[in-house]
Chain A
Amino acid sequence: MSTNLMPDDRRHLAMRLSALQYLVAVAFAALAVGFWVFQVAQHQKFAEMAENNHLRRLPLPAPRGVLLDRNGKVLVENKDIFNIALVREQTKNLDATLQTLAAATGVAEAQLRETVERRRREPSYRPIVLIENATPEQYIAVRARQWELPGIFGQVVPSRRYPEATAAHLFGYVSEITEAQLQKAEYDGAEPGEIVGQAGLEQAYNRLLMGTEGNRTVIVNSVGREISTLDSQSKPPVEGRAVQLTIDAEVQKATEDGFTIAGLNGAAVVLDPRNGEVLSFTSRPAYDPNAFAGGIDRATWASLNTDELRPLQNRALQGRYSPGSTFKMAVGLAGLEENVVNPDFKVFCAGGATFYGRRFACHKKEGHGWVDLRHAIEQSCDVYFYTVGNMLGVDRIHKWATLFGLGVKSNIDLPNEVQGLVPSTEWKAKYTKEKKWYAGETISVAIGQGQVSVTPVSLAVYAATLGNGGTRVTPHLIKAVNEGKGWTPVPAPPPQSKVDVTPEKLAAIRDGMWMVVNAGGTGRRAQIPGHDVCGKTGTAQVISNQGRLAAAKSGRNLRDHGWFVFFAPRDNPEIAGVVFVEHGVHSANAAQITRHILNTYFAKKDGNPLPPPPTREEMRLDFSDRFARGAEGGQ
C-alpha cells in the first residue's frame, strides 16, 4: 500500500465506525426486544411468580360446627391445639430441617419424612402439618430452635373436642382429607390438609359442619419473615353450622352407663316412635374420637384396626345378628293381619313339635301347655310361632317383617348402614344356589332364627313401628340447624312406609309385650311402675350347641347375644328402642340396661331427679351359661 491511499484509510475508518454504530444499534434493538419479551409478552407469568414469592396465603382453618343435644347441651365443640407445620419453600435443606425437628420434638424422622413425601405434589408454599396437636414441650422446643429450623412454624388451629366416652360411633371422627376424597364431588372446594368428617355424624353432615376455610394473605420477605398483612386479600374463616341433635344427653349417658356398669359390649338405639328422632345411639366397644381430632398416632390406629373386638365397627348400623324371639311379634302380626289366626287362636305346646318330619324344640322342655297369642308372646313359646309361621309361609312373614322395618335399611342419616335379611322364596330363588324354598325352613324363620338377620337400628325401628301402630318412621339425628341467624328446625324425614294395622289386632301384640314386662314374662327387669313398659326379649345364638362343643377349644367367645326391644308407655308410646348385648348370654341383662334408660327418661319427663347409675349388684346380671339347651329355640 502506498501513501496515496491514505484518504482511503480515512474513509475506511469512517466506514468501520459507521458499521460499529449500526452494530451497536442493532444490539440495543435486540436488547429492547428481549426486554419486551420478558416484560410485556411474558409479563403475566413473571408477575405471578413474583407474587408467589412475596404473597403467602396462610390457610385459616374454620372451626367445625358445634353439636348440641335436644336440650341445648353442648356435646361436641372445638378447642385450640398447636400444630407444627412446614413450608417447604422456605427451607434451605429439607433433610437437615427434618432431622433437627425430629431431634427437638422426639418424633421419628421417618414419620416426618413420610408426611412430607405424601404431600409432595402440593404447592411448596402451602404449609404441611408435620406434628398435629403438639405438646407444649414440643412447641417450646421448636420455638427455641427457630433459627435452625427455617420453614418450620407453629400454628394454632381449632380441633374437635368430644365428650368422654360417649357416643363415639354416633359422632364419628374427623381427620385430614384423603387423596381419594379430594377427587369426590361432595368435597368440592376442600383443600389438601383440610379436616373433614370420616365417620358418623361428622361424615354425614360434613358439608354443614365443616365451614369455610379462610386465609390470611401476608407479604413475606425472602427469608419468610412476615412484613405485613394484606387485609384486602385476606378472608376470615367461616365457622361451620351449629347443629342441634335429637339426642338427649341424659338418655345417652344412661345408655352408656348401663353398658359400662354391666361390662358388656353391644349396641342400643332409642327412638321417639312418633317421629323417628333418635334419643340415644350407642355401639360398644367404642373408641375415643378425641384421639383422631389431633391426628391419630399410628400405634393407636393399628390397635383399633387389629382389636378382635372391632371397636371401629358401628354395631348399631353394621352388626347383623339373628333377632331371635324379638321376631315373634312380626310373625304374630302377620298371622293376625293375614287372617290366618286370631288373638284367641291356641296351640298346645308339649315342649316341642314335629314339622316335615323333623322335631323342633321349644325353649321350655316341659312345654307351655295351651297358649294363645298373648301368652305365647309373654312366655316366648316357640311351638306357637312354629305353628303360626308354618300356616303363613315365609313370604307373608317376609311381607310383614319388611313393613315393620326388618330386613331393610332404616335410612338413618348416618353413613354405611348395612341391610339385614328376612328371607323369602324370591330371595332364595334369586340369591342362593339352592333356589327352592323348603317349607321346613319357615319353621326356624318363625322364631327369628335360620337366615333371618337384623341390625340393631332396624330392630329399634321395628319396636317403634309396633309402638306407633304401623308407621315405619325414619330414624334421624338432626333437629335444627343454626345458619347464623338463629335456629331453623329441620323437618323430620317422611316415614319409610305406613300400614294401617287393625287396632284390636295390634292391641293383642302389645298386650303380649306388656305381659312380658309386667306379668309372668321374660322381661320383668324392665318394669317401671306407672309407665306400662312393653318389651320382648330375644336370644341370638352365636353358634349351635353342637357346633359349640366342637369349637370349645378355639377360645372364641361363643356365648349367646341378648336382645331387648321395647316401647313405653303401652298406649301412645313416646319412647321405643332396642338394647343388644353382645355375648351377653341373657336378654335379661339387656332388659336391665333398658331399665336404667327408661328410668332416666321418665324421671326427666316427670321432673324427678335423675336416677343414679345402678351398681353392678343392683343390675343383678345373669351370666349363667345354660350350655345344654335344646337344639333350637329362643327365649
Chain B
Amino acid sequence: MFERRLFFHVDWLLLGAVLLLTGIGVAMIYSTTYVTLSNGAGHPGPQVWTQMYALAIGMVALVICLMIDYRMFAEHSLMLFGGLVVLLIFVLVKGSTQMGAQRWIPIGPFNLQPSEFGRLTVALLLAMVFGENRRGARNTSDLIIGGLFTGVPLLLIAKQPDLGTAVTLIPVFLGVAYLAGLRLRLLGVLALAGLMIAPVAWKFALKDYQRQRIETFLDPEKDPRGAGYQTIQARVTVGSGGLTGKGFRQGTQGQYKFLPVAHNDFIFSVLAEEQGFIGVLVALGLYLFVILRSIEAARWEASFRGLRSR
C-alpha cells in the first residue's frame, strides 16, 4: 500500500497549478481583509492566517494521501460511507446549531462539518459500485443502487438543512455514472425525470425561504436591500473591475464592505475587482488546467492499468 514511486511520479504541473490558485486565494484574502489604521499603518485580517493554517493542514493531508494508494480508500469506501452516515445522523441528533442549521460537530476549537466529506465518500463508493467486477454498460439496477448510496446522505444533509451542500452530490453521482459507462439513454431519462419532478419539488419539497433564495438568485432586483443584496453587490464588484482591475488592495467594494464577507465565498469577486478580466482569465485558466489535467490523469490511469486490471 505504500507506494514510494508515487513521490517520483507526482504531477508537478498539476500541483503547481493548485498551489498557484491557493496562493492567489491567500493574496486576495490578504488584500480584501487588510485593515488600514488611522496612522497609515495597517495589517491583514486574521482570515489570512486561518487560510495559511488550512493550507499547511492541506499540505500535510496531501503528503499523507500521496503515501496511501487511493484504491485503498475505494476498497474501504463502504466502511467510510458507513462512518459518514453515522456522523450525519449524529449531527442531526447532537450537532451544534449555528445560523439556523445543525451542521457541525464541535471538536475542541474546531467545528467538524461531516457533510463536507460527503462528496468524496460518495464518489469513492460510487466508483467502487460502478467499477465492480462487472462488464459492459451499466444498467438500471446499477443506477438504482448508486442512486440509493447518493440519496441517503443527500437526504440527511438536506435535513440539516443544507440544501446547497446536499445537491452537490447529484453531479458527483451523474459524473461517476457517466464515466462508468451508464447508458446515455438512461441519463436522458434521468434528466427528463428531473425536469418533471422539479415543479413538484418546487411546490412541495422546498420551504419558503429556500424558494425565495432561488428566486433572488435568479432575479436579485426583487429584494435589492435584503436577499438580493449580496448578488447585486457581487455583480457590481465583478463588473467594476473592468479589463485590468483596480489594483491590489485598491478594490472599493470589498475594502469598504459593500460586498459583505467578501473574503469568504465571494473571494473570486475580489479577484475580479482588483485584477480585472485579465486576472479572471488567469484564474479560470488555472482551474481549467487543473480539471482537464485531473481528467487526463484518469485517462492515464485507465490505459496504464487497464480498465479491468483487478
A residues adjacent to B (C-beta < 8 A): 1, 3, 5-6, 9-10, 12-14, 16-17, 20-21, 24-25, 28, 31-32, 35-36, 38-40, 42-43, 45-47, 49-51, 53-54, 92, 219-223, 227
A48 to B280, CA, bound (A): 21
Closest residue of chain B to A52, judged by CB? B236
Contact of B256 with A227 in the complex, beta carbons under 8 Å: yes
Interface string of B175-197 (1 = CB under 8 A from A): 10011010000000000000000
Q: Which one of A12, A46, A227 has the greatest number of beta carbons of chain B within 10 Å? A: A46
Q: List 17 A-B contacts (CB under 8 A).
A: A5-B136, A9-B135, A10-B303, A10-B307, A20-B295, A24-B288, A28-B284, A35-B280, A43-B239, A46-B238, A50-B252, A50-B253, A51-B252, A53-B252, A54-B256, A220-B256, A222-B260
User: Do A42 and B239 touch across chains, with their CB atoms under 8 A apart?
Assistant: yes
Which of B240, B257, B276, B287 gathers most chain A CB within 10 Å? B240
Provide the residues of chain B in CB contact with A227, threshold 8 Å. Answer: 256
CB-CB under 8 A from B308, the residues of chain A are 6, 9
B223 to nearest A CB, angstroms?
A: 13
* CB closest residue in chain B, given A36: B277
In the complex, which residues 109-157 of chain B have their Cβ closer than 8 Å to any Cβ of chain A?
Answer: 135-137
User: Residue-by-residue, is B278-291 near A (CB-CB < 8 Å gives 1, otherwise 0)?
Assistant: 00110010011001
Q: How far is the CA of A9 from the CA of B307 in the complex (A)?
A: 8
| Bound-state Cα–Cα, A28 to B237, Å | 20
B179 and chain A: residue at smallest CB distance? A16
Q: A43-B239, A43-B242, A45-B239 are in contact. Are A222 and B252 (CB under 8 A)?
A: no
Note all chain B residues with C-beta closer than 8 A to A49: 236, 239-240
Contacts of A47 in B (CB 8 A): 239-240, 242
CB distance from B147 to the nearest CB of A (A): 20
Which A residues are in CB contact (< 8 Å) with B281? 32, 35
Min distance, Cβ A49 to any Cβ of chain B, angstroms: 5
Q: Which residues of A contact B298 (CB under 8 A)?
A: 17
| Complex contacts, B95 vs chain A, CB 8 Å | none
- CB-CB under 8 A from B296, the residues of chain A are 17, 21
B148 shortest CB reach to chain A, Å: 23
The 7 closest A-B pairs by CB, nearest first: A46-B239, A1-B136, A50-B240, A221-B256, A222-B257, A39-B277, A38-B239
Q: In the complex, how many angstroms separate the beta carbon of A118 from the nearest chain B beta carbon?
A: 22
Contacts A24-B292, A36-B277 given; does A46 touch B303 at CB 8 Å: no
Contacts of A53 in B (CB 8 A): 233, 236, 252-253, 256, 258
- Interface size of B in residues (CB-CB distance below 8 Å): 43
Contact check, B277 vs A35: say whether CB atoms are below 8 A apart: yes
Residues of B within 8 A of A54 (CB): 252-253, 256, 258
Contact of A14 among B241, B257, B272, B302 (CB under 8 A): B302
Interface centre among A40, A53, A219 (most CB of B within 10 A): A53
- Tell me, rounded to whole Å, the shortest Cβ–Cβ distance linking B127 to chain A: 13
| Docked pose: A336 CA to B96 CA in angstroms | 111
Q: Residue on B with the closest CB to A7?
A: B307
CA distance A47 to B240 in the complex (A): 4
Q: Does B164 contact A (CB under 8 A)?
A: no
Q: Given that A12-B181, A13-B307, A46-B235 are known contacts, is A39 also in contact with B241, CB under 8 Å in the complex?
A: yes
Cβ of B89 within 8 Å of any chain A Cβ, yes or no, is: no
Among B160-219, those with CB < 8 Å from A are: 175, 178-179, 181
- Which chain B positions have C-beta within 8 A of A32? 280-281, 284
Tell me the minimal C-beta distance from B233 to chain A in angstroms: 8
- Chain B neighbourhood of A221, CB < 8 A: 256-258
Q: Which residue of the partner chain, among B242, B292, B302, contacts A10 with CB atoms under 8 Å? A: B302
Report the separation of the CA atoms of residues A496 and B233 in the bound assembly, to the nearest whole angstrom.
Answer: 65
Q: B-side binding surface: helix, strand, loop or mixed?
A: helix
A contact residues around B295 at 8 Å (CB): 17, 20-21, 24
Contacts of A46 in B (CB 8 A): 235-236, 238-240
Task: Please determine whether A24 and B302 come into contact, CB atoms closer than 8 angstroms.
Answer: no
B78 at the A/B interface (Cβ < 8 Å)? no
Measured CA separation A5–B295 after assembly (Å):
23
Which residues of the other chain, B, contact A36 by a CB distance below 8 angstroms? 277
Whether A39 and B239, one on each chain, are in contact in the complex, defined by CB atoms closer than 8 angstroms, is yes
Give complex CA distance A36, B258 in Å.
22
In the complex, what's the smallest C-beta–C-beta distance from A596 to chain B, in angstroms?
64
> Contacts of B243 on A, CB cut-off 8 Å?
39-40, 43
Q: How far is the CB of A33 from chain B (nearest CB, A)?
A: 11
Q: Does B299 contact A (CB under 8 A)?
A: yes
Note all chain B residues with C-beta closer than 8 A to A51. Answer: 240, 252
Whether B100 sits at the interface, judged by CB under 8 Å, is: no
Query: Would B284 and A50 count as touching, CB distance under 8 A?
Result: no
Q: B178: nearest residue on chain A (CB-CB)?
A: A16
Report if B306 contacts A (CB, 8 A). Answer: yes
List residues of chain A with CB within 8 A of the CB of B237: 50
A475 to chain B, nearest CB (A): 58
A6 and B307: CB pair below 8 A? Answer: yes
- Closest B residue to A227 by beta carbon equals B256
Note all chain B residues with C-beta closer than 8 A to A28: 284, 287-288
Specify which chain A residues have a CB less than 8 angstroms from the CB of B136 in the assembled complex.
1, 5, 9
Q: Residue B181 contacts which of A3, A16, A20, A25 (CB distance < 8 angstroms)?
A: A16
Supposing A32-B284, A50-B252, A54-B252 touch, asked if A6 and B240 sit within 8 A by C-beta, the answer is no
A1 to B137, CA, bound (A): 9
CB of A432, distance to nearest CB on chain B (Å): 65
Structural contact, B135 and A3, CB atoms closer than 8 A: yes
Closest A residue, CB atoms, query B277: A39
Q: Which residue of B lies closest to A24 (CB)?
A: B291
Chain A residues lying within 8 Å of B233, measured Cβ to Cβ, are: 53
Q: Which of A38, A53, A223 has the most CB of B within 10 A?
A: A38
Quick one: closest B residue to A91, CB to CB?
B225
Which of chain B's residues have a CB closer than 8 A to the CB of A38?
235, 238-239, 272
Q: Which of B212-271 contact A (CB under 8 A)?
A: 225, 233, 235-243, 252-253, 256-258, 260
B238 and A35 form a contact (CB under 8 A): yes
B181 / chain A contacts, CB cutoff of 8 Å: 9, 12-13, 16
Looking across the interface, which residue of chain A has its beta carbon closest to that of B238? A38
Task: Check A13 against B240 for contact (C-beta < 8 Å).
Answer: no
Residues of A within 8 A of B235 (CB): 38, 46
Known: A20-B178, A53-B253, A54-B252. A25 touches B236 (CB 8 A): no
Contacting residues, chain B, for A45 (C-beta < 8 A): 239
Contacts known (A28-B284, A35-B280); A222 close to B258, Cβ less than 8 A: yes
Q: How far is the CA of A39 from the CA of B291 in the complex (A)?
A: 24
Seed contacts A35-B280, A39-B276; 7 additional CB < 8 Å A-B pairs: A16-B181, A38-B235, A43-B240, A53-B236, A54-B252, A92-B225, A219-B256
How many angstroms from the CA of A43 to the CA of B277 in the assembled complex? 10
Q: CA of A47 to CA of B235 in the docked complex: distance in angstroms?
A: 11
Known contacts: A6-B307, A10-B302, A43-B243. The answer to whether A222 contacts B280 by CB under 8 A is no
With both beta carbons as reference points, the residue of chain A lying nearest to B246 in the complex is identified as A50
Give chain B nearest CB distance to A270 CB in angstroms: 61
Q: Are A25 and B256 in contact (CB under 8 A)?
A: no
- Residues in A neighbouring B256, C-beta threshold 8 A: 53-54, 219-222, 227
Docked complex Cα distance between A227 and B136 (Å): 66
User: In the complex, which of the residues B179, B258, B303 contacts A20, with contact meaning CB atoms closer than 8 Å?
Assistant: B179
Residue of B nearest to A48 (CB): B240
Task: Report yes or no: A13 in contact with B179, Cβ–Cβ below 8 A.
Answer: yes
Complex CA–CA separation, A50 to B238 (angstroms)? 10
B27 to chain A, nearest CB (A): 19
